């Protein structure tokens, strides 16, 4: 029998009726397969737990945050197992540590080191459906840690790799990955198939459907992901290697989609003295506290000073501000730190996009015609991203989608 890993997102287990529906879905899949299920915390429960802790203090201990947040997944995991048992099924729930998921010591954003699969394997052998709490692991201190927001996807994909599963299905409340956010662009289309690289860019640029880190693991181990809707039978989006996707024309430009991300904050550090390893100082400090940075620009205006501009995820805004204040303000009071929360990142994604020189020009022309000012630009082989005022986000996405739609056929 082959192993299938099924992961259900928070909205799929929000309430007893949905848990029952999910249980039925699992039972019908069990007919021909051994099943390992990964579950997220229901609905907004992770956000609500964070809010509760922040009511007590703005800087709760990260270890205690992990203790707190891991409970969300434990609740949905055990409820789903109780439901399956009540329907006459042999099923057993496990926390991340019980499932043998071992990680490093970075509380709230731990990285998986390895998975000891024997307990899950034994439970499968004795006929169980195994239900694992997503998003959590055990570190070398013997503590529970969490794997970063959206980390249940990572649990599912990492388990698929360790168990050599034949398929990893990621169920949520959307049909799959779209060519743009369907709430913004009514004509956005569901994409049937994406390569790991395309999906990685889409997820990193704001497509909410999968945790970016999880796609890196899927690519590394060649795990085929099927992202689909819990509540429909429609095929979703398959994410697999480029070789598995048959492209009609080898070198034709193929745009995967347009993404928008309003979850980033722009920091500008002005009047930095040249030299002194300032860039190293900033980004080394931010890396040490696990802050992901992108769109870095360093510019020196005519004078002898440098400006450095970059963006970080909104959830790291205060942490970034504190780190920058600590580096500069005690000594260099002429340095100015400016932050702008009113930004959106708009990206066009497609393998080989940079080789098609006219895409960049066309994008800028659309922004120009619509009076959308570009604050930052970043390009690579697979993505062109611009930072614009948040106010212009919807217009920018709509206009770009309309103009590039003809390159999106697959």
Which residues contact Mg ion (rule: CB under 5 A)?
Answer: 9, 150
Provide the CB-side half-sphere exposure for 94 (13 A, CA): 28
Site residues (CB under 6 A) for ligand ASP? 10, 40-41, 46, 72, 134-135, 149-153
User: Which partner in Mg ion, ligand ASP, none is near 134 (CB below 5 to 8 A by kind)?
Assistant: ligand ASP
Q: Report how far apart, in Å, the C-alpha atoms of 334 and of each of 181, 287, 303, 304, 329 are.
A: 42, 25, 14, 13, 8
Q: What's the min distance (Å) between Cβ of 147 and ligand ASP? A: 8
Query: Which residues is 136 bridged to in the sheet?
Result: 146
Q: Is 394 helix (H, G, I), strand (E, B) or coil?
A: helix
User: Which partner in Mg ion, ligand ASP, none is near 151 (CB below 5 to 8 A by kind)?
Assistant: ligand ASP
Distance CA 6, CA 25 (A): 10
Q: Which is nearer to ligand ASP, 46 or 256 (CB)?
A: 46
Distance CA 7, CA 36 (A): 8
Q: Which is nearer to ligand ASP, 151 or 350 (CB)?
A: 151
Q: What's the min distance (Å) between Cβ of 162 and Mg ion? A: 20
Q: What's the min distance (Å) between Cβ of 299 and ligand ASP? A: 36
Residue nearest Mg ion (C-beta atom)? 150
Q: Report how far apart, in Å, the C-alpha atoms of 77 and of each of 38, 72, 212, 346 are.
A: 8, 9, 23, 36
- Least Cα distance to 346 among 317, 318, 316, 311 occurs for 311
Q: Which is nearer to ligand ASP, 41 or 200 (CB)?
A: 41
Q: Which is nearer to ligand ASP, 134 or 206 (CB)?
A: 134
Distance CA 289, CA 148 (A): 13
User: Which partner in Mg ion, ligand ASP, none is near 34 (CB below 5 to 8 A by kind)?
Assistant: none
Q: What's the min distance (Å) between Cβ of 158 and ligand ASP? A: 13
User: Which partner in Mg ion, ligand ASP, none is near 128 (CB below 5 to 8 A by kind)?
Assistant: none
Distance CA 165, CA 120 (A): 13
Q: What's the min distance (Å) between Cβ of 179 and Mg ion? A: 20
Q: What's the min distance (Å) between Cβ of 196 and ligand ASP? A: 19
Distance CA 26, CA 294 (A): 39
Sign of CA dihedral 374, 201, 286, 272: negative
Q: Which is nearer to ligand ASP, 49 or 317 (CB)?
A: 49
- Least Cα distance to 261 among 390, 152, 391 occurs for 390
- Least Cα distance to 114 among 122, 104, 124 occurs for 104
- Least Cα distance to 138 among 78, 77, 67, 46 occurs for 67
Q: Which is nearer to ligand ASP, 13 or 353 (CB)?
A: 13
Residue nearest ligand ASP (C-beta atom)? 152
Q: What's the min distance (Å) between Cβ of 313 and ligand ASP? A: 13
User: Which partner in ligand ASP, Mg ion, none is near 255 (CB below 5 to 8 A by kind)?
Assistant: none
Q: Which is nearer to ligand ASP, 136 or 311 (CB)?
A: 136
User: Which partner in Mg ion, ligand ASP, none is near 135 (CB below 5 to 8 A by kind)?
Assistant: ligand ASP
User: Which partner in Mg ion, ligand ASP, none is near 319 (CB below 5 to 8 A by kind)?
Assistant: none
Q: Which is nearer to ligand ASP, 146 or 260 (CB)?
A: 146
Distance CA 403, CA 359 (A): 10
Distance CA 255, CA 51 (A): 39
Q: Which is nearer to Mg ion, 100 or 134 (CB)?
A: 134
Q: What's the min distance (Å) between Cβ of 268 and ligand ASP? A: 29
Distance CA 367, CA 365 (A): 5
Q: What's the min distance (Å) between Cβ of 38 and ligand ASP? A: 9
């Amino acid at each position: 029998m082959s192993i299938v890993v099924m992961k259900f997102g928070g909205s799929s287990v929000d309430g007893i009726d949905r848990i029952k529906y999910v249980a039925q879905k699992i039972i019908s899949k069990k007919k021909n397969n051994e099943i390992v299920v990964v579950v997220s915390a229901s609905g907004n429960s992770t956000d609500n737990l964070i809010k509760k802790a922040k009511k007590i203090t703005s800087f709760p201990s990260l270890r205690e945050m992990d203790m707190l947040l891991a409970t969300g997944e434990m609740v949905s995991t055990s409820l789903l197992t109780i439901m399956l048992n009540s329907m006459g099924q042999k099923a057993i729930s496990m926390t991340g540590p019980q499932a043998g998921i071992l990680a490093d010591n970075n509380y709230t954003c731990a990285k998986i080191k390895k998975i000891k699969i024997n307990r899950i394997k034994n439970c499968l052998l004795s006929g169980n459906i195994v239900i694992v709490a997503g998003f959590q692991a055990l570190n070398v201190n013997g503590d529970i840690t969490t794997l970063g927001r959206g980390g249940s996807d990572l649990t599912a994909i990492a388990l698929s790799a360790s168990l050599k599963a034949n398929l990893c299905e990621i169920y949520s409340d959307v049909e799959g990955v779209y060519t743009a956010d369907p709430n913004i662009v009514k004509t956005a289309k569901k994409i049937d198939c994406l390569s790991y690289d395309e999906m990685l860019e889409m997820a990193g640029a704001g497509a909410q459907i999968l945790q970016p880190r999880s796609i890196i693991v899927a690519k590394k181990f060649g795990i085929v992901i099927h992202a689909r809707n819990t509540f429909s039978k429609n095929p979703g989006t398959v994410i697999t290697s480029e070789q598995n996707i048959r492209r009609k024309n080898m070198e034709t430009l193929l745009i995967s989609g347009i993404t928008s991300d309003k979850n980033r904050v722009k920091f500008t550090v002005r009047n930095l003295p040249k030299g002194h390893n300032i860039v190293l100082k900033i980004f080394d400090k931010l890396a040490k506290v696990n802050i992901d940075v992108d769109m870095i620009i360093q510019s020196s205006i005519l004078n002898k000073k440098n400006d450095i501009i970059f963006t970080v995820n909104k959830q790291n805004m205060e942490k970034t501000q504190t780190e920058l204040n600590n580096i500069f303000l005690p000594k260099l009071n002429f340095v100015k730190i400016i932050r702008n929360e009113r930004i959106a990142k708009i990206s066009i994604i497609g393998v080989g996009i940079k080789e098609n020189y006219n895409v960049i020009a066309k994008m800028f022309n659309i922004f120009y015609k619509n009076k959308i000012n570009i604050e930052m630009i970043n390009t690579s082989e697979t993505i062109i991203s611009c930072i614009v005022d948040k106010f212009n986000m919807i217009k920018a996405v709509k206009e770009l989608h309309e103009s590039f739609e003809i390159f999106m056929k697959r």
